Amino acid sequence: MKTYHGSCHCGAVRYEADIDLALGTIKCNCSICSKMRFWAVQLAPTAFRLLQGQDALREYRFHSRRDGHCFCGDCGINVFSTGDAPRSGPFVAVTVVSLDDLPVADLLAAPVRHIDGRNDNWNTPPVEIRHL
């Protein structure tokens, strides 16, 4: 477990998160995740701390409105998502590309789990993942 720091592109939103990269990262093929090229690490809400930028954050919800995709209203960068998964409970999913002090080598060494969100099949990876 290590504490990492992250931000949006313009720096209006800043956070820190306690992350164990050995637990892996996730990529999803649902419509919004595909368009965002969403790559995240899922955490318990208690492992995430917003340090600044609550007023700059915007949230987008679609379909079931269960998950909130949070992005900076100034620069548009998606920094994290929130939700309540049936299998694992409440979560914050931090986008790995918004982590400022995560060495690329550490990110590449982290396992990746692919999720078939497009078909609401959370237990089996999608057949095609090369585009994710």
- Overall domain count for the chain: 1
Produce one character per residue of 15-32: b if its CB has 16 or more CB atoms within 10 Å, e if not. Answer: bbbebebeeebbbbbbeb
120 found inside a domain? no
**CA–CA separation, 36 and 98 (whole Å):** 13
What is the average per-residue pLDDT within 3-16?
A: 98
What is the domain range of residue 33? 2-115
- Residue 110's domain is classified under what CATH number? 2.170.150.70
Q: Does some domain include residue 125?
A: no
Is 45 contained in some domain? yes
Residue 127 lies in a domain: no
Domain-located, residue 37: yes
Q: What are the tokens at 116?
A: 């078939």
Sheet with strand 25-28: strands edge to edge:
57-60, 68-72, 78-85, 89-95, 39-43, 25-28, 112-115
- Per-residue pLDDT, averaged over 113-128, amounts to 82
Residue with tokens 């900076």: 72
Q: What is the pLDDT of residue 62?
A: 81
For 44, residues 6+ apart whose C-beta sits below 8 A from its C-beta are 90, 91, 92
Confidence of residue 118 (pLDDT cuts 50, 70, 90): confident
Residue 132 counted as domain residue:
no
Does a structural domain hold residue 64?
yes
Segment 51-101, tens digit of pLDDT: 999 999 999 988 666 788 999 999 999 999 999 887 778 999 999 999 999
* 59 found inside a domain: yes
What pLDDT score does 122 carry? 74
